[in-house]
Amino acid sequence: MRESTKNLVYLLLDMIDALGRSSHGNSALFIQEGERINEAKNELLALLSSSKPQPNATKGVSTKVELIGFLPSALIDRAKFPSNSDVVRLANQSLGLQMPRWEKKKRDELIGTLISAIAQRDERDLGMFLDAWKKFVGSESTVKARSPKKNYVDTWLDFFEQYQQEK
């Protein structure tokens, strides 16, 4: 998928979120956040981070650039990462990144700190995470069906641990 197309999709997702927030308690607005809208957003995010090559995809995109491109949009999804501690657990247990004094930081600041730390990491340190994430997103419904009572982060951490053992 072309970078300009991805940027447009991210913009549209942000607009859907903004409209959903503004429509709470106001039945006069046409767009109300619901299960169908959340499903559509999740499908778009999965498509954006899909491991399948897309036509006209940019060749040679680095692991860092790819992670920095899709990870923030995944982390701001409160359905998947309901608390800041979920973001920190992903950073600590999957990427080996420490987030000092995270309890006093806003979510946006945590995500920015995480993205900055990823930008400073060596490409080799990020490859396994990216490969596992792509596989997880591609098989998310199957993985979630095996453990319906776990939250998204717990399901991901179990999946990642198993992925590491297989490699």
167 residues of the chain, pLDDT tens digit each = 667 677 677 777 766 666 555 555 554 444 445 566 666 777 777 777 664 444 334 445 788 899 998 899 999 999 999 999 999 999 999 999 999 899 999 999 999 999 999 999 988 889 999 999 999 988 876 666 566 678 899 999 999 999 999 97
Q: H-type helices in 24-122, by residue range?
A: 35-48, 63-75, 84-95, 107-120
Q: How many residues does the chain have?
A: 167
In the numeric block, which tokens belong to residue 153?
Answer: 């982060």
pTM of the model: 0.61
Going by the DSSP 8-state scheme, the letter that residue 79 receives in this structure is: T
From the list 78, 89, 71, the residue with the least C-alpha distance to 134 is 71
Distance CA 110, CA 165 (A): 29
